[in-house]
Structure 1
Amino acid sequence: MRNTILITILSLSFFSWNAHAQKAKVSAANKNYSNYAYVDAIQTYERLANKGYASAEMFQKLGNAYYFNADFEKAAQWYEKLYQMQSELEPEYYYRYAQSLKSIGKTKEAAQVLAKFEGKASNDSRAKRLQNNTDYLEEIKANIGIYTIENAGINSRFSDYGSAVVDNKLVFASARDTGGVGQRKHSWTGEHFTNLYAAGVNGDLIPSDPKRYDANVNSKFHEATPVFTKDAKTMYFTRNNYLDGKKGKDANKVTLLKIYKATLVNERWTNVIELPFNSDQYSTAHPALSPDEQILYFASNRPGTLGQSDLYKVAINSDGTFGQPINLGTEINTEGRETFPFVTNDNQLYFASDGHPGLGGLDIFTAKINTDGSFGEVENDGAEVNSPKDDFGYYRDSETNRGFFTSNREGGLGSDDIYRFTSKSRCKQLLKGQITDSATGEFLARATVTLLNKQYKEIATTTADTQGNYTFTIDCRRTYSVRAQQKDYTPKETKIKIAATSGETVVDLQLESTVCKVAIGDDLGKCFGIKMIYFDLDKSNIRGEAALDLEKILDALQQHPTMKLDIRSHTDCRQTAKYNMALSDRRAKATIAWLNAKGIDKSRLTGKGYGESQLVNDCGCEPTNASTCSEEQHQMNRRSEFIIT
């Protein structure tokens, strides 16, 4: 990937050597590095390293130079030397080393280095995302089958990337024959600067016969990533900081990126102007329009950026002016690179990132843009559109599900190639269920039901109908939680793993009422789910966990001063009937004594033990004291009752 377009911020520093000649060479390399002239820097650093010189800073810069040019094999080579040379590294270098290893298939080694990264960067959102999504590789690979992908058929041996469709043309950036007489190659990429090209497309979006696009737009510097309004009369595009023959530079004399606007007049693009939120001091690039064309999304490393580049949005006012850029926030942006946004007509945001868990390099991710401007869960777009290399520049027609993306994956013609795809609808399921009262089984009409993702973020809410029924449409292969709430009931939440095939998943929820309606003859203990007051074996002293349940009974008695209780203790059939009767009676009396000691008058409490005389099932033992019942069946008979009299 060519990072003049990727927008990456680099921390630069200088180092020295003893020999004067080596100082001169390294100084020259650093100068090129700080101006993004990676080709020269790589050559100088590699020559020095091959002569046996070793420097952590040099290995950092060699690793970075290859990493940001997507040569992950060589990046891993130099990061490994850095890793071996220093026992403690900045978290960023563990992350880049791991990404490089993963990109060349060394997943086991990558996992070990990622563990180092997670330990070093516990506050880094990328580490948290990895910790919260340990099975992300399985989820990515499970999406196989969604895309049918082929080379777009218009690629050159140079860099071709980015896609937009307008007036039956595919408009893209290319470094092919853009070099004119006297035009220099870009020192970073070793290729000529990119210009915009256009290829005709048919109804199936099959492109052919690419030609250079409008000369009024193309300059002697980079042009890329155009986006067009629906009426095809306005174009926003990325260009190096160059307008009307004047080249702008930042404080370090580097020409960065800006977004420009052009207007179509008499079939020619005219009135090229830069947008007001550009700056000479940072890059602004890769415009994308919302379906209503009232919001422009873009990538930038402006002040306030969370990582190396973030995604932003800015309002386009009715009078053509612009609002203030707004960072899309931590749901989308990470400490890494987020770039190349694209928004479909059905409000699905696609973007490239190396900060969210992926296969290596830049991966394409997607998130739903909600009506309130917030975002749904960020999802990797799968192991077909993504690879261990850089994948970016996504475009999709929402009606036909055909589109394009760019990748420097193995098997391409040039450094970056455009691929054409046809996509299927993602696997969906219907999640449904019924909300009822756990005690009575009654339907809980109008209960609020909330759907949460794996990280317990709320992603949808609905209201149950008059029969307590609810439904959600969800993605296959994902983990969700369903939460039900109703007034005067305790909320309940359950987690569910969705199958990998289309169909239905049923999750019924039974809620316990927090307002227990009782009458004479009811068991007060059922209001609190008390089935048994526990005592030590063969003893009648109150245990700690039993005291907690009795505190609930105590509170009810204090809130209702006229309530009287008959406390009944029951045992299972094991041991003799006489023994069980005596034991249960002692326990009933111990319960009464505990409540009395807490201030409940004795006149409000009666009780006795019933031993095994009132079994609730057929688990009797007499006369042998033997039974074939399970422990669960015996447990049903061991119970405590607090009958309101």
Structure 2
Amino acid sequence: MNRRILLLVILLLSFGADALAQERLVTKGNEKYQNYSFSPAIDIYQKVLDKGYMTQDLLQRLGNAYYFNADYQKAAEVYGILIENYDKGVGPEYFFRYSQCTRSLGEYQRADDLMVKFTEMTNGGDKRAVTFKSEKEYMAEIDKNSGRYNIAPFEYNTQYSEFAPSLYKQGLLFSSDRDTGNLARYRHTWNSKDFLDLFKVNIDSASNNAVRKMGNVNSRMHESTSITTKDGNTLYFTRNNFIDDKYVRDEEGVVRLKIFRAQLDNGVWKNLEELPFNSDSYSVAHPALSPDEKTLYFASDMPGSSGGSDIYKIAINDDGSFGTPTNLGGTINTEARETFPYVTSEEILYFSSDGHPGLGGLDVFATKIKDQKYDQKIINVGRPVNSKKDDFTFVFTEETRKGYFASNRDGGLGSDDIYSFVESKPLVFECVQQISGTVRDKISNDLLVGATVKVIDENNEEILSTITDTDGNFTLTLDCNQGNFVRAMMQGYVPAEEYLTKSDGKPRIMDFYLEREKVTAGFGDDLAKLLQLSTIYFDFDKYNIRPDAEVEIQKVIAAMDKYPSLKIKANSHTDSRGRDKYNLWLSQKRAESTVNYMISKGIAADRLTKEGFGETRLVNRCDDGVRCSAIEHELNRRSEFIILE
């Protein structure tokens, strides 16, 4: 008995000591995690997990550490364990990241199911949820944009990381952690790799000797993502917060990213300065220039950002100073990561994101920003530039249709590799929608020839206009990436307008019915003339209402519905052919048929009277015995709707 008790005590002590040891390891791992030292944090967390010690917090941090190191396979495994064991307590962000991981593994249905859960948890209020719901068929959209690039590996890739290509004179700048002679103590603990430096290469060279380090721009910390002015004399680049050979940490001990600027002087980069809108408290990184070089675009997680990082812009003044950073807004930026901007000469913004619907990880997206409009359609550039992994730092020139990007996709030499590409088919940014229709008089239903149809944007600016042709028809082609007002106008009529929201570009038929500004009529006027009615025909020797006559009478009914006090008299006339007495009887029956038809359609009988005049009121010379054409006789076979009140 005593031995059993002693054994139990020993086991309990052993278990307690082991648990205490695991807690100490987790505490150490948390310290590494908080300092963005994800690689050692992964080692610690995984070791603890492998021993069977598991908490929600540990799984969340381990999953995130894998996620931010782009190991989506491992991240998916950990997030799966997290949600399986702690479903009720797990926040929506983990469902989103789990969805991104499964998408990068090609498990698109699983990814969509997780996004449905994410949407439910955020009540549809998160931009990513809204986008997912509105672009449920995103795979079909990606497929439509795919196949437009012919890609090839960059010939200067190594077993290390190469990324952040930047066009520079006749060559290329890029960032790499290739062996630079740094000692292990200078390796970055985010991913346990050497720190990044900037390199330049003459891309036309046949020798690897063409690759050179950027000299005094590099430090013993990270340098990456660069852009130069067109003359090659000003360089903007990203570096860790590293001043006077010392790195600077924020209050949490994190070394943030900053953008620096340097000037080329006799082949040497001088006057190195950090930009004034940098901060020790948040990161500012990945510079890009507008075509006129008066605006700098960059990524940041500064206060006011909606996600892990947003894309911003800032004005570059003539004296080299800067304006105030401006967030590009909710169409481009989501609650996830938007980063690595690049702007082409045609004002197309390319950027990477894991917040917009994609194939997995970071995908490359594009949007038109002409006239600094940042609310246009966001387009996934498709395969093969985008893959299941991270695809980023896309640069491109429309003049040659050539460019470069980086990816950590399978099959590369290093963890990140640069790929060159040639665009074989331009990306279609315009959402073109054709609208067509007619403009008519609302009462008479007659086509209005020469009516003006205008398209007005949401800023009340006229975009284009046309006039109706001889058949009253019009056709217009709109940009359906934005909302538009379509307005029909004609002198003497009240304009009519309809609003078109953003759409998928399917053709649309729009018919306008304009009301007259003023209808001038009085006692004794013929409403048939005012409404420009066509002749109301009856079959020979018949007085029943024909279908074509119904259309014209309906116009009179519409007018009486619009003006409830209107009272009319229906007069019917014949031509001179036939016996006078018979014509008088026939016209009376036709007038009766007309009134009875109107009563059957809801017009009160006390608002209608009738009379047949036979051939007693001819409008021309075609009396008995006079030779007249069929057209001349037809003018006498008429109906009138005389206004009585």
Contact 2:353 2:363 in 1 (8 A): yes
Q: SS state of the match for residue 403, structure 2? A: strand
1:330 deviation in Å?
0.3
- Tell me, yes or no, if structure 1 residue 157 matches structure 2 residue 168: no
Contact 2:202 2:211 in 1 (8 A): no
- Tell me, yes or no, if structure 1 residue 99 matches structure 2 residue 105: no
- Alpha-carbon separation, structure 2, partners of 1:517 and 1:228: 65
Question: Residue 446 of structure 2 is aligned with which of 421, 440, 443?
Answer: 440
Q: Which moved more, 1:45-54 or 1:430-439?
A: 430-439
The answer for the alignment partner of 1:129 in structure 2 is 131
Cα 1:23–1:497 change in 2 (3 A) is: closer
The answer for the alignment partner of 1:281 in structure 2 is 281
The answer for the alignment partner of 1:180 in structure 2 is 182
TM-score (norm 1): 0.76
Q: SS state of the match for residue 515, structure 2? A: coil
1:288-336 residue CA offsets vs partner (Å, 9 max, x unmatched): 0000000000000001111110000000011111001001010110000
- Alpha-carbon separation, structure 1, partners of 2:67 and 2:462: 39
1:443 deviation in Å?
4.5
- Tell me, yes or no, if structure 1 residue 564 matches structure 2 residue 575: no
Cα 1:427–1:395 change in 2 (3 A) is: closer
Contact 1:524 1:553 in 2 (8 A): no
Q: Which residue type is aligned with residue 173 of structure 1?
A: S
Contact 1:153 1:207 in 2 (8 A): no
Q: SS state of the match for residue 436, structure 1? A: strand
Contact 2:309 2:336 in 1 (8 A): yes
Q: Which residue type is aligned with residue 35 of structure 2?
A: N
Q: Which residue type is aligned with residue 406 of structure 2?
A: T
Cα 1:372–1:408 change in 2 (3 A) is: closer
Cα 1:515–1:254 change in 2 (3 A) is: same
Q: Which residue type is aligned with residue 521 of structure 1?
A: L
Contact 1:178 1:193 in 2 (8 A): no
The answer for the alignment partner of 1:263 in structure 2 is 263
1:5-60 residue CA offsets vs partner (Å, 9 max, x unmatched): xxxxxxxxxxx999321221111000000001111111111111111122111111
1:85-119 residue CA offsets vs partner (Å, 9 max, x unmatched): 12322111111111111111111211211110111
- Alpha-carbon separation, structure 2, partners of 1:307 and 1:524: 64
- Tell me, yes or no, if structure 1 residue 393 matches structure 2 residue 393: yes
The answer for the alignment partner of 1:490 in structure 2 is 496
Structure having the higher helix fraction is 2
- Tell me, yes or no, if structure 1 residue 588 matches structure 2 residue 599: yes
Cα 1:296–1:245 change in 2 (3 A) is: same
Contact 1:435 1:484 in 2 (8 A): no
The answer for the alignment partner of 2:112 in structure 1 is 111
Q: SS state of the match for residue 81, structure 2? A: helix
1:385-439 residue CA offsets vs partner (Å, 9 max, x unmatched): 1111111101001211100011111111111111100003436697556553144
Cα 1:494–1:329 change in 2 (3 A) is: closer
The answer for the alignment partner of 1:321 in structure 2 is 321
- Tell me, yes or no, if structure 1 residue 169 matches structure 2 residue 171: yes
Alignment coverage as a number of residue pairs: 542
1:383 deviation in Å?
2.2
- Tell me, yes or no, if structure 1 residue 296 matches structure 2 residue 296: yes
1:154 deviation in Å?
1.2
Contact 2:454 2:462 in 1 (8 A): no
Q: Which moved more, 1:426-435 or 1:292-301?
A: 426-435
1:586 deviation in Å?
10
- Alpha-carbon separation, structure 2, partners of 1:143 and 1:208: 35
Q: Which residue type is aligned with residue 332 of structure 2?
A: I
Cα 1:46–1:374 change in 2 (3 A) is: closer
- Alpha-carbon separation, structure 1, partners of 2:44 and 2:530: 83
After superposition, residues 409-448 of structure 1 pair within 5 angstroms as: 409-426=409-426, 432=434, 434=436, 436-438=438-440, 439-443=445-449, 446-448=452-454
Q: SS state of the match for residue 387, structure 2? A: coil
After superposition, residues 481-560 of structure 1 pair within 5 angstroms as: 484-487=486-489, 488-492=494-498, 509-515=510-516, 520-522=526-528, 556-557=562-563
1:466 deviation in Å?
7.2
The answer for the alignment partner of 1:120 in structure 2 is 121
- Alpha-carbon separation, structure 2, partners of 1:496 and 1:127: 18
Contact 2:96 2:114 in 1 (8 A): yes
After superposition, residues 352-431 of structure 1 pair within 5 angstroms as: 352-426=352-426
1:510 deviation in Å?
2.8
Q: Which residue type is aligned with residue 329 of structure 1?
A: G
The answer for the alignment partner of 2:79 in structure 1 is 79
Contact 2:436 2:476 in 1 (8 A): no
Q: SS state of the match for residue 306, structure 2? A: coil
- Tell me, yes or no, if structure 1 residue 62 matches structure 2 residue 46: no
Q: State, as a whole percentage, how many aligned pairs show the same letter.
A: 38
Cα 1:193–1:444 change in 2 (3 A) is: farther
1:218 deviation in Å?
0.5
1:268-293 residue CA offsets vs partner (Å, 9 max, x unmatched): 11111000000000000000000000
Q: Which residue type is aligned with residue 232 of structure 2?
A: A
The answer for the alignment partner of 1:197 in structure 2 is 199
- Alpha-carbon separation, structure 2, partners of 1:462 and 1:299: 36
Q: Which residue type is aligned with residue 564 of structure 1?
A: K
The answer for the alignment partner of 2:537 in structure 1 is none
- Alpha-carbon separation, structure 1, partners of 2:259 and 2:240: 9
1:118-154 residue CA offsets vs partner (Å, 9 max, x unmatched): 1111110000011111111101012222111111111
1:522 deviation in Å?
4.1
What is the aligned-residue RMSD (CA, Å)? 3.9
- Alpha-carbon separation, structure 2, partners of 1:292 and 1:74: 44
Q: Which residue type is aligned with residue 563 of structure 2?
A: L
1:466-525 residue CA offsets vs partner (Å, 9 max, x unmatched): 757655487xxx9998763123343346799879xxxxx976643221337766334999
1:251 deviation in Å?
0.4
- Alpha-carbon separation, structure 2, partners of 1:307 and 1:642: 70
Q: Which residue type is aligned with residue 392 of structure 2?
A: F
- Alpha-carbon separation, structure 2, partners of 1:525 and 1:440: 8
The answer for the alignment partner of 2:350 in structure 1 is 350
Contact 1:223 1:237 in 2 (8 A): yes
Q: SS state of the match for residue 491, structure 1? A: strand
1:182-220 residue CA offsets vs partner (Å, 9 max, x unmatched): 642111111100000111124xx9996552332210100
1:254 deviation in Å?
1.2
Cα 1:496–1:304 change in 2 (3 A) is: closer
Greater Rg, structure 1 or structure 2? 2
The answer for the alignment partner of 1:305 in structure 2 is 305
Contact 2:435 2:478 in 1 (8 A): no
- Alpha-carbon separation, structure 2, partners of 1:266 and 1:164: 21
1:156 deviation in Å?
1.2
After superposition, residues 587-626 of structure 1 pair within 5 angstroms as: 588=599, 591-592=602-603, 605-606=607-608
- Alpha-carbon separation, structure 1, partners of 2:17 and 2:314: 48
Question: What runs of 5+ residues in structure 1 fail to find an aligned partner?
Answer: 1-15, 500-504, 528-548, 569-580, 597-601, 609-640
- Alpha-carbon separation, structure 2, partners of 1:256 and 1:441: 68
1:166 deviation in Å?
1.3
The answer for the alignment partner of 1:449 in structure 2 is 455
Q: SS state of the match for residue 447, structure 1? A: strand
Contact 1:588 1:607 in 2 (8 A): no
Contact 1:229 1:293 in 2 (8 A): yes
- Alpha-carbon separation, structure 2, partners of 1:426 and 1:75: 36
